[in-house]
């Protein structure tokens, strides 16, 4: 390789010498030629040496390359063998990876289904925990321990992932409450009485439906407070009959007891419902005239009933006795019999007829008619007043209705219909007065009709016995004439 580069350099040097000195002399030229030849030889010798050296180096390189090629071929075969082995391993790993991917997909799908099932189960457990909290909040049984409360609160919220131990604890709480809710117990515990104080009282627990208390002589019903889980006494006491039944049951003397199957709803409604006095007072000022009519009507009814009862008489028995005495024409005995019963209208009418028994029939009939007319006014006294009261009461109720509706429309005009409580006063006046007016008028009208019927019957009885007396007297006269 060096020879190839040295020879052209030599030619270039010679050419340069000749070109650089065209004007040299011949001698100089010979010297230069000699020097050039010498230089050329030297250069050729050097180039030959370099060429030989290059050839030797090339030979060595060829030998080294040949040795390296053998090594490379050997190494290539080894690497190719390793590559084949690795390709087999890669293929095996790819097959295993594919198998693992399929198993992973199956496990992911199974895990997803299991996760959805677990989430659904957890949702059901938390829903049941909330239901248990709502159920136990209104329970009449003793309060839960704090651990049970915190467990239900944690499960119903997101604070705790429920496990089997928590579900078992929930089941135990529910089972304990079910057992307590089905038992009837008589115990002593603290309650909040009607004045708001916490006192100890004797408590009757009828399952999870009704609770009653006895505090001295006071007996009433209890309800539970969801916030503090305490038992508090209802503001209104039960009726005397219910209180008597509760007392006898708590003393073990009776097997029956009043029970609120609505779990306190009916008792709560009873305590919130207004009393009769409150309902009447909500009817406004027109309520009092209607109540006055009721009082006057009651007094009249009692007075008329007492009058009719006091003047009651067995008229048939009296007539039979008079017939027996009139057979002997013993009119004096008949008058004495009537005088003995002078406080009775029938006896007074008959006595008036007996005073004219010796006279003509017309005189006797006139005397009896006069006596009957004299007895009618005391019998019919206050009946017209009672009928007037029965007519006035519903009219006052109607007046209250109109007044209440006027008040209601006035409030609607001023404030609109946004707040129904502002209109409740006028509506209450309208409804209460109407209800009270009809409630007063209907029984008064009924009693008025009954009293009128009773008076008519008494007047008819007087007329009947008057005709009977005339017939007795006429029969006695006919008997005497026959003799």
Confidence (pLDDT) at 2: 41
Decide if 149 is inside a domain: no
Residue 480: the pLDDT is: 56
Residue 252 φ/ψ region, left for φ over 0, alpha for ψ in the -120 to 50 degree band, beta for the rest? left
pLDDT at 3: 41
Is-contact 397 437, C-beta < 8 A? yes
Q: Which residues of 261-293 are buried (b: 16+ CB within 10 A; e: fewer)?
A: eebbeebeeebeeeeeeebbebbbebbebbeeb
pLDDT confidence tier of residue 358, bands split at 50, 70 and 90: confident
pLDDT band at 441 (very low <50, low <70, confident <90, very high): very high
Q: How far is CA 345 from CA 339, 372, 387, 466, in A?
A: 11, 8, 24, 11
Q: Single out the residue in 54, 89, 113 at which a domain terminates.
A: 113
Q: Are 210 and 64 found together in one domain? A: no
Mean pLDDT of all residues in 395-406:
82
| Domain assignment of residue 343, yes or no | yes
Same domain as 363, residue 222: no
- In the numeric block, which tokens belong to residue 347? 């006896």
Report angle CA 164, 167, 171 to the nearest 5 degrees.
Answer: 135
Determine the pLDDT at residue 322. Answer: 73
Shared domain for 291 and 344, answered yes or no, is yes
Ordered alpha helix ranges (H), 273-419: 276-281, 287-310, 315-327, 331-340, 345-354, 361-380, 383-415
| pTM of model > 0.75 | no
Same domain? For 35 and 105 the reply is yes
The mean per-residue pLDDT over the stretch 402-421 comes to 68
Decide: 1 and 54 in contact? Cβ < 8 Å.
yes
Phi/psi class of residue 197: alpha, beta or left (left: φ > 0; alpha: ψ in -120 to 50)?
A: beta
422 with 407: CB under 8 angstroms?
Answer: no
Are 436 and 355 contained in the same domain?
A: yes
C-beta of residue 437 within 8 angstroms of C-beta of residue 398: yes
In this predicted structure, the answer to whether residue 451 has a pLDDT above a threshold of 60 is yes
User: Does residue 460 share a domain with residue 364?
Assistant: yes
Return d(Cα 101, Cα 4) in angstroms, integer.
Answer: 67
**pLDDT on residue 405:** 77
The number of distinct structural domains making up the chain is 3
Give the strand pairing for 218-225 and 210-215.
antiparallel
Q: Are strands 218-225 and 184-192 parallel, antiparallel or unpaired?
A: unpaired
Residue 201 falls inside a structural domain: yes
pLDDT at 313: 79
Reference 383, options 310, 297, 258; nearest CA is 297
Residues 6+ apart with CB under 8 A from 37: none
Q: Would residue 389 count as lying in a domain?
A: yes
User: What is the number of other CB atoms lying within 10 angstroms of the CB of residue 417?
Assistant: 9
Length of the chain: 483
CA-CA distances (angstroms) from residue 330 to 233, 281, 368?
Answer: 79, 67, 20
> What is the pLDDT of the chain when averaged over all its residues?
77
Whether residue 126 lies inside any domain: the answer is no
Q: Is the pLDDT of residue 471 over 70?
A: yes
The answer as to whether 176 is a domain residue is no
Q: Do 342 and 263 lie in a common domain?
A: no
3-state secondary structure of 306: helix
Judge whether 150 lies within some domain.
Answer: no
Q: Tell me: the pLDDT tens digits for 217-234?
A: 888 888 776 555 677 777
Do 356 and 470 have their domain in common? yes
Average pLDDT over residues 470-482: 67
- Shared domain check, 450 and 325: yes
At residue 300 the predicted structure's pLDDT band, cuts being 50, 70 and 90, is very high
Most confident listed range (154-158, 201-205, 319-323): 201-205
Q: Which of 49, 80, 113 is the last residue of a domain?
A: 113
**Residue that has been written with the tokens 């008329």 in this structure:** 304
Least confident of 62-66, 89-93, 260-264, 341-345: 260-264
Q: At which of 248, 272, 296 does a domain end?
A: 272
Tell me which DSSP letter residue 359 carries: S
- Reported as a pLDDT band with limits 50, 70 and 90, residue 268 is low
Domain of 317 in residue numbering reads as 287-482
pLDDT in tens, 51-97: 888 888 888 888 888 888 888 888 888 888 889 999 999 999 998 99
Q: Give the lowest-confidence range in 54-68, 319-333, 429-443.
A: 319-333
What mean pLDDT do residues 372-381 have? 87
Q: How confident is the model at residue 120 (pLDDT cuts 50, 70, 90)?
A: confident
Domain check: are 460 and 329 in the same one? Answer: yes
Assess if residue 195 is contained within a domain. Answer: yes
C-alpha to C-alpha distance for 407 and 285, rounded to whole angstroms: 13
Answer yes or no: do 333 and 201 share one domain: no
Q: Same structural domain for residues 348 and 420?
A: yes
């Amino acid at each position: 390789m060096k020879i190839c580069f040295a020879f052209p350099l030599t030619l270039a040097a010679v050419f340069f010498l000749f070109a650089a000195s065209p004007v040299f002399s011949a001698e100089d030229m010979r010297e230069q030629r000699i020097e050039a030849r010498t230089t050329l030889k030297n250069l050729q010798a050097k180039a030959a040496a370099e060429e030989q050296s290059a050839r030797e180096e090339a030979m060595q390189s060829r030998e080294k390359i040949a040795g390296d090629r053998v090594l490379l071929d050997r190494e290539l075969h080894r690497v190719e063998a390793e590559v084949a082995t690795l390709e087999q391993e890669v293929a095996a790993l790819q097959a295993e990876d594919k198998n693992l991917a399929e198993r992973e997909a199956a496990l992911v799908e199974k895990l997803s289904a299991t996760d959805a099932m677990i989430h659904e189960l957890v949702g059901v457990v938390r829903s049941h925990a909330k239901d248990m909290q709502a159920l136990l909040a209104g329970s009449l049984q003793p309060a839960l321990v704090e651990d049970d409360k915190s467990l239900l609160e944690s499960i119903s919220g997101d604070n705790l992932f429920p496990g089997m131990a928590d579900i078992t604890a929930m089941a135990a709480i529910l089972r304990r409450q079910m057992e307590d809710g089905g038992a009837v117990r008589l115990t002593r515990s603290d309650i909040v009485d009607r004045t708001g104080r916490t006192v100890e009282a004797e408590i009757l627990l009828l399952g999870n439906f009704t609770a009653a208390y006895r505090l001295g002589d006071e007996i009433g019903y209890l309800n539970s407070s969801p916030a503090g889980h305490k038992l508090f006494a209802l503001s209104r006491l039960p009726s005397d009959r219910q209180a008597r039944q509760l007392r006898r049951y708590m003393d073990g003397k009776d097997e029956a007891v009043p029970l609120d199957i609505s779990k306190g709803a009916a008792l709560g409604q009873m305590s919130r419902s207004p009393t009769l006095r409150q309902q009447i007072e909500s009817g406004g000022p027109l309520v009092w005239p209607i109540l006055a009519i009721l009082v006057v009507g009651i007094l009249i009814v009692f007075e008329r009933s007492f009058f009719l009862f006091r003047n009651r008489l067995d008229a048939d028995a009296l007539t039979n006795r008079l017939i027996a005495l009139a057979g002997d024409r013993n009119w004096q005995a008949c008058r004495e019999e009537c005088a003995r019963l002078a406080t009775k209208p029938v006896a007074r009418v008959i006595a008036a007829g007996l005073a004219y028994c010796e006279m003509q029939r017309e005189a006797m009939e006139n005397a009896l008619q006069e006596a009957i007319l004299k007895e009618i006014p005391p019998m019919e006294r206050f009946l017209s007043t009672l009928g007037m009261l029965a007519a006035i009461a519903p009219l006052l109720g109607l007046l209250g209705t109109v007044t209440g509706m006027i008040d209601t429309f006035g409030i609607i005009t001023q404030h609109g219909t946004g707040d129904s409580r502002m209109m409740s006063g006028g509506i209450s006046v309208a409804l209460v007065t109407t209800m009270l007016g009809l409630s007063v008028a209907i029984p008064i009208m009924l009693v008025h009709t009954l009293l009128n019927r009773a008076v008519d019957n008494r007047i008819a009885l007087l007329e009947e016995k008057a005709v009977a007396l005339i017939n007795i007297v006429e029969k006695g006269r006919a008997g005497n004439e026959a003799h």
